[in-house]
Amino acid sequence: QVQLVESGGGLVQPGGSLRLSCAASGSIFSIYTMGWYRQAPGNQRELVAFLTNSGSTNYADSVKGRFTISRDNAKNTVYLQMNSLKPEDTAVYYCRVVITSGVYWGQGTQVTVSS
């Protein structure tokens, strides 16, 4: 069993910042990638950013230069620092972890960017 616990979502004004966290626990032997996806109402779930165990990162074009993904290996936790937030960033953000036993998703955390 693997559990992913997300936190850090909320309501923020345009131009503001939020930091999302996702802590993985349970039967984890090796983490390959940790990442964040998001889904806005009426839209498909889309990749925001991911980070491999070698340190490589990949970002959606829409968030490049504004979002930063990072990881604390000792805590099996991945973070998403979101700066210069825009109303179009409003969505439910999901953590996704690929480990030896498969792919796991978090429960999602709501991010709302509005004045």
Instruction: Write b or e for each residue in 79-110: b if 16 or more Cβ atoms lie within 10 A of its Cβ, otherwise e.
Output: bbebeebeeebbbbbbbbbbbeeeebebebbe
pLDDT band at 115 (very low <50, low <70, confident <90, very high): very high
Q: Find tokens 């559990």 and name the residue.
A: 3
Tens digit of each residue's pLDDT (9 = 90 or more) over 20-62:
999 998 877 788 899 999 999 999 999 999 999 888 999 999 9
Tens digit of each residue's pLDDT (9 = 90 or more) over 65-109:
999 999 998 898 999 999 999 999 999 999 999 988 899 999 999
Rg, C-alpha atoms of the chain: 14
In DSSP terms, 26 is beta-bridged to 2
Contact indicator for 38, 96 with CB cutoff of 8 Å: no
Q: What is the mean pLDDT of the chain?
A: 94
Task: Give the pLDDT score at 70.
Answer: 96
User: What spatial distance separates the first Cα and last Cα of the chain, rounded to whole Å?
Assistant: 40
